[in-house]
Every structure is written in C-alpha cells, then in structure tokens.
Structure 1
C-alpha cells in the first residue's frame, strides 16, 4: 500500500465520521427543518422548548442551509486536521482546503432540498422518484439518496486531499 492510498483511506474515514457527527449531532433542529424552505414552500418551525412558531421562506432557508454547511465543514476540518496529526499524516493545506470546498459545495447543493431541487431532479432522471419519495418500511428514500450523495463526494474530496496534498 502506498502512502497516498493510506492517506486516502484515513482522510475518507475522518471525513465520513465527521460528516455523520455534523449532520446528526452538530446540525441544529432549526437548520435541519428549515434549510429547504422557499417562499413557494415555506416551513413552519416549532421550537421544541417554547412552542414558539417561526415561518421561514427562501432567504431563511438559504441562511439555515449555509449555517449547517458552515458547521458541517468546520467539523470535518477539525476532525481531519486532528486525525491527520495523530496519525502522522501531512496534508498540503491547499489540497485540504480544496477537498473541504468540494464537500461543502456539494453538501449545500444537496441539502437545500427545494422542491424540484438537485437530488429530486437526479432521482427523477435515474428513475428513482418512487424510492426518493418512499417513507415507509423504516426507510426514507430521500435521506438515503442524500447520504449516498455525500459519501460519494467525500470520496472525491479524500482523493483530492491524498493525491494532490500529500507532503513528505
């Protein structure tokens, strides 16, 4: 195994673990519910503790998605930098920045989830509309396709970080 392949495997594992933590523990309930809001399809968020209601449209949806992606990317950056240090892996800062940019941009594109958005359009184009809309049998199709999208792009990001960025 080459250093690059080992670096790829380590960076991918770090990106993926951090992505799961960021998506499910770091992301706020408000961002999770509001990031796909539009003026045509507003979202009413009910605060868990106060029961206060907030109606969000396009501007709030974009801000919520941007904040989620910011915390997601910061979590990935912190975990990859710390993990690489512990593992003795030296990654080129520019390559790591490029990798994190790939992860962030593709995450925003998928998570905005406006009606007729990127993932729904891809599901339709690949004849997976029924799967995308499935929310039964313990499966949520749009969530499964969302996670597969993120995993795929994190793989590309890890290749960029390891291929371009490895220093000796």
Structure 2
C-alpha cells in the first residue's frame, strides 16, 4: 500500500473509531453500566465487560460501514488486534481505580478530582470533571493506537 493510501486509511479508520467511541460510550452504554462499571465487585467487572463489549461492537460496525462505503479492505488480523488493544485499554480505564491511581502517580491527582462532588455540599457528578477529561483523553489516545494497528 502506498504512503498516501496508508495515511488515508489511517485517517478514515481513526475518524470511524472516534465517532463510534462517542456513540458507544455515551448512547449505547446503559445507565446501569455507567454507574456500576467501577465497582470493586464481580458485578462491577461484569458491567464494565458488557459496556466494553457493546462499545467494541459499535466500533466494529462503524469500521464495517466505512469499509463498505469506501471500498476499503481491512486486514482481519490487524482489525481484530486493533479492536482488542482498544477494548483492553478501555476496560482498564473504565474500572476507574486504575486510571485514578495512574493520575495520582503522574501528578495529575488534583486534576483528576477537579469537579468531583464534595461531601459537604450538594454537588453532583457531571461530565465536566477532571476524571472525565482524563478518561476520554485516555480513550482517544488508544483510538489512535488502534487506528495505527488497523491501518497497517
């Protein structure tokens, strides 16, 4: 494949993964999965696993649509490898304690807790938290890694 074709494939795959990630992480994920996936229990691990499974299916569907519309051939091994790498990274981050611990180790703990509810107030969790920003940037970084794998 020429460099131009590789770059075009990389760009198209990343855009498809990014769009599918946003849909899968916010529309396909159930309320139960969103609330339970970080719990340190078997139920929490299963909720996270179900979320990642439906998210990965959403990404696979987006890539299939891309391949169909753009007459793009994606190698099954690199496609599967890229989706697995992305799914594993997503599961790891969505267990929450893992990403929080990494943020602490890297000196990002204060940012991670930015916007989190304070016990002495009526604050409620919202999407404008440092935890959400670090979570999404982690996922987007791995979308790029997955796109690199899939496009090669």
TM-score normalised to structure 2 length = 0.89
CA distance in 2, matches of 1:80, 1:17: 10
Compute the RMSD of aligned alpha carbons: 1.5
In structure 2, do the counterparts of structure 1 residues 21 and 90 end up closer, same or farther at CA, with 3 Å as the change threshold?
same
Counterpart of 2:113 (choices 133, 137, 141) is 133
CA distance in 2, matches of 1:110, 1:127: 17
Counterpart of 1:8 (choices 6, 10, 17) is 10
CA distance in 2, matches of 1:140, 1:87: 37
**How many pairs were matched up?**
141
Q: Comparing both structures, which one devotes a greater share of its residues to strand?
A: 1
Provide runs of 4+ in structure 1 moved above 6 Å: none
Indicate yes or no: 2:76 matched with 1:93.
yes
Any idea what the Cα deviations from partners look like across 1:107-141, whole Å, max 9, x if unmatched?
0000011xxx2211221122111110011797300
The aligned runs of 1:105-144 (5 Å cut-off) are 105-113=88-96, 117-135=97-115, 139-144=128-133
List runs of 5+ in structure 1 lacking aligned partners. Answer: 39-57, 164-168
